[in-house]
Amino acid sequence: ELGPYRHYMQKEIFEQPTAIANTINQALSQGFNPDQFGEQAQQILQQATAIRIIACGTSYHAGLVARYWIEAYTGMPVSVDIASEYRYSNGLEQRGTLIIAISQSGETADLLAAIRNAKERGEVKILALCNVAHSTLTREADLSILTQAGIEIGVASTKAFTTQLAALYVFAGCLAQARSSLSDEKLAELANWLPRLPAMISAALSQESEIEGWAQALSHHAHTLYLGRNTLFPIALEGALKLKEIAYIHAEGYAAGELKHGPLALVDENMPVIVCAANDALFEKLMSNLREVEARGGQIYLIAEPGCEAALPYVKSAIFLPLNTGPLAPIVFTIPLQLLAYHTAHRKGTDVDKPRNLAKSVTVE
């Protein structure tokens, strides 16, 4: 069943081009037509007054990325909550809020409690984004969007996460179309990125051997820092989570602009700093963060898009993605970070598919 792969996690990482293509299949033919989510979708998307995303763990990181897309394309206010916090917090929901519950399994206890709690806080609609068609979550939701990742066996979520992101990008485009918040030209431009996505993922996967070199270096460290800005900030959080859970290395994800508000004090020659750099309007800001790290002897491992070559003098090692990834950057940058965690864990000889103390589906509180 594993074919050429050593672990399910590695296999699932390499299944991502197909899993993503399957998930965005309808959008590839219909663009951002909200009807692809079912008959009531158009109305629910049009009538939403605000958006609140609720999830746990890796699914929460997908929600953090989605906030950037939805706010940029619709101007709607979006908040993102951790389910275990939301369920025990107080406050009413604004009438008409659309709650987006993101979950691979659809059985996570905290998330189910959170959506039940949300229904008590006001007149809300629940949208489930889930990888399991007949789960408790989809049964309790008003509307469901299914990711088509297939069964995920490795405890560390990989293809479930990137398919969530792909579906959330399509959702953000559909929301913009339903609400006429973007011009037709802009919508077409955003939709045009989608057919390129599977190939961009494959291109990132082809850099596995370069990542293995980094994994060898990383496996000797006890602490790491992951940095990104904008949609790559949640990807820094996700990269750090993957390294923690399977390689048992302390990793912190930070918004790069937060460095001087604290974590810079940790940086010295023993601190590998993994940085995601998009060739976008914030690259200059990220460059000043790189200089801050380099000046303290920090060892920078840079993952970058073409066009970010100005960063090279400050880094110990760099891997350039073959192509520019535009708004899909968070999906593509996830790949090298998954591979880095995987190979670092493999070098350390951990039980990659079943990391200690963790369960695949957290059905108890």
Q: Binders of ligand F6R among 112-131, rule CB under 6 A?
A: none
In this structure, are residues 142 and 40 in contact, taking their beta carbons and an 8 Å threshold? yes
Within residues 236-255, the interface with ligand F6R by CB under 6 A covers 241, 245
Region binding ligand F6R by CB under 6 A among candidate stretches 25-33, 105-113, 224-232, 346-354 = 105-113
Tell me which of 119, 316, 348, 360 is the catalytic residue. 360
Provide the minimum distance between the beta carbon of 31 and ligand F6R in the complex, in angstroms, as a whole number: 28
Token pair in block for residue 40: 């009531």
Nearest to 131 by CA among 152, 154, 108: 152
Which range touches ligand F6R (CB under 6 A), out of 74-82, 98-106, 173-181, 193-201? 98-106
Would you tell me how many other CB atoms lie within 10 Å of the CB of residue 350? Answer: 17
| Number of Cβ within a 10 Å radius of residue 213 | 13
CA distance 51 to 48: 7
Among 17, 31, 34, 57, binds ligand F6R (CB under 6 A): 57
Q: Does 163 bind ligand F6R (CB under 6 A)?
A: no
Q: Does 167 bind ligand F6R (CB under 6 A)?
A: no
Residue 10 makes contact with ligand F6R by CB under 6 A? no
Active-site residue, 360 included: yes
299 binds ligand F6R (CB under 6 A): no
277 touches 308 (CB < 8 A): yes
Which residue, 105 or 163, is less far from ligand F6R as judged by CB?
Answer: 105
Applying CB under 6 A, the span of 64-72, 100-108, 169-177, 191-199 interacting with ligand F6R comes to 100-108
Determine, following the binding rule CB under 6 A, whether residue 13 of this chain makes contact with ligand F6R.
no
Report the interface residues with ligand F6R, using CB under 6 A: 56-59, 103-105, 108, 111, 156-157, 241, 245, 361-362
Name the residues annotated as catalytic: 360
